[in-house]
Homo-oligomer: A and B are copies of this chain.
Amino acid sequence: MKARDETKIGQIFAATLQLVVEMGIAGITMRQIAKKARLATGTLYIYFRDKDDLIHQLYEDCRNASINAYFKGYDPDLPFKEGFRIIWINILHFRIENFDAAVFMEQSYHSPFISESSKEMSRDLLRPLFKLMERGKEAKVVKELDTVLLLMFMVGSTNDVIKYIKYHQRKLTDDIIQQAFTLCWDGLKR
């Protein structure tokens, strides 16, 4: 018998993400996804129960991929600032290289597709970052403010760079990374 082609899921995901960046989550249809993935519309229903299921699985996929990427190369034994820099740059790189996924996840947050529980899970996955920031506070190198506020500021500052690069046609040079990191760091540090 014929085996299922598991690479197709990747094709479908990639096509969907591209469409979301082009049209927003409002504009995507099953037909368009199929067309962009070079498949028949019916084929989508072999791999996904329905549109809802497709979007959901894509969301989970994006979330997991990003969390994995964030902590790559991080060693809790490094001095705080070094560890912090590694993670900050990981986040930045991942979200620029997976810009489509980043836009999709942002759009998903306010959408009928993603449930409250999925959002809850996303928050849970910020927990390792939470610990990192607490460490910075204990070591007296980071301001004594609410950890969540500090985290929002940290993650948000990568957002700003991404918008800067993508919407103003700038190149992501080491210089810019360094500059943007300094903006964030000087804000957080005591």
Contact = CB atoms under 8 A, between A and B. Distances in A.
A183 B187 contact: yes
Interface stretch (A42-50, A130-138, A145-153): A145-153
A160 B156 CA distance: 6
Interface of A: prevailing SS: helix
A110 B188 CA distance: 31
Among A27, A170, A187: residue with most chain B CB under 10 A: A187
A183 B26 contact: no
B149 A153 contact: no
A55 to B, nearest CB: 9
Interface of A: 20-27, 103, 106-108, 110-113, 143, 145-146, 148-150, 152-153, 155-157, 159-161, 163-164, 168, 170, 176, 179-180, 182-189
